[in-house]
Amino acid sequence: MAATTPGALKPLIAVCQVTSTPDKEQNFASCSRLIREAAQRGACIVFLPEAFDFIGSNTEETLSMSETLEGEQIHRYASLARECGIWQSLGGFHERGSNWESTRRIYNCHLLLNPQGHLMGTYRKTHLCDVELEGRVSLKERNFTNPGLEIVPPISTPAGKVGLAICYDLRFPEMSLALTQEGAEILTYPSAFTVTTGSAHWEVLLRARAIETQCYVVAAAQTGKNHERRSSYGHSMVVDPWGCVIAQCQEGLGLCYAEIDLAYLHRVRQEMPVAAHRRADLYGRVAALRNPPAP
């Protein structure tokens, strides 16, 4: 695509920050307003966070409100894409997959829709967050979620080649390197970090992924009180290939914007060619990116 070549115009992207609750209608109203605002501003692609559709107050509620990719929720976003003429990164959908009847578990699914509402990419979260920080955080995603089985090759968009990931994937640099080796220019980590983990690790992890891959990193985030037992950290941001934060949301619902300068990205990679210097022959099992252990 012309926009991915050095010297091309700098496309504008929009990054959303929302507070999803168990109220799906309220969530759609908030997201659709931000998508329309991004389209009016001239963004070519808008990024929504993990769990943009809803955040349930318990496992039973989460499972009961999940839908298939052919359900009403995704049809509404596809219609919105056609109405606004904008790409959408739908960063973490509670998907009932083809094995729902046998497993009664869902997938955490990142979707990419084009302006015609067509599904251009589907990534199911591979790294599930099973964490117990005494007295602070208890997350057991594996109790109700099936792990995805593969990394999806980057997808060409007007802003560049986008590599899809979700939240906890951010902690695994092997995945970001694999996506970059496949041609990614933008890595996106839609998230719902807790306040505890976000205040400690959010920005430093995003900047590290940008520096080591020399990619733009885009991170749409949940913020505020999702329900009586859950609050999210927020701080949606965009990091450039040198590791600088070039856009960030303030408190509450909203958008931040950034221009993607692929000429700059290629210059960074040329001046500091870390990909060419990588010694995969030395890294042993760590370099075996395509042979993960069975879940």
Q: Over the stretch 54-63, which tens digit does the pLDDT of each residue have?
A: 999 999 999 9
Residue 266, domain member (yes or no): yes
**Looking up tokens 């080649």, which residue turns up?**
161
CB 187 within 8 A of CB 260: no
Q: Is 161 a catalytic residue?
A: no
Predicted local confidence at residue 292, as pLDDT: 45
Measured CA to CA in angstroms, residue 37 lies from 19, 75, 85, 236 at distances of 17, 20, 12, 17
Q: Quote the number of domains for the chain.
A: 1
Residue 293, domain member (yes or no): no
CATH code, domain carrying 24 = 3.60.110.10
Q: At 184, is the pLDDT very low, low, confident or very high (cuts 50, 70, 90)? A: very high
Catalytic residue among 95, 109, 125, 256: 125
10-38: average pLDDT: 98
Name the least confident of 115-129, 132-146, 190-204, 241-255.
132-146
Residue 49, domain member (yes or no): yes
Residue 43, domain member (yes or no): yes
- C-alpha–C-alpha distance, residues 71 and 97, integer Å: 11
Q: At 284, is the pLDDT very low, low, confident or very high (cuts 50, 70, 90)? A: confident
Query: Mean pLDDT, the chain, as a whole number?
Result: 92
Answer yes or no: is pLDDT of 1 > 70. Answer: no
Predicted local confidence at residue 137, as pLDDT: 58
Predicted local confidence at residue 9, as pLDDT: 81
Name the least confident of 98-107, 131-140, 169-178, 283-292.
283-292
Q: Checking DSSP bridges between strand 216-219 and strand 221-227, what pairing results, if any?
A: unpaired
Determine the structural domain holding residue 61 and report its residue range: 7-287
DSSP state of 136: T
Catalytic residue among 16, 109, 167, 215: 167
CB 210 within 8 A of CB 177: no
**Looking up tokens 């015609």, which residue turns up?**
116
Q: Of 93, 84, 217, which Cα lies nearest the Cα of 160?
A: 217
Structure tokens at 230: 């859950």
Residue 295, domain member (yes or no): no
175-194: average pLDDT: 97
Residue 220, domain member (yes or no): yes
23-28: average pLDDT: 97
Q: Is 185 a catalytic residue?
A: no
Residue 1, domain member (yes or no): no
Q: Is 167 a catalytic residue?
A: yes
- C-alpha–C-alpha distance, residues 169 and 164, integer Å: 10
Residue 255, domain member (yes or no): yes
With pLDDT > 90 as the criterion, what percentage of the chain qualifies?
85
Catalytic residue among 16, 31, 50, 249: 50
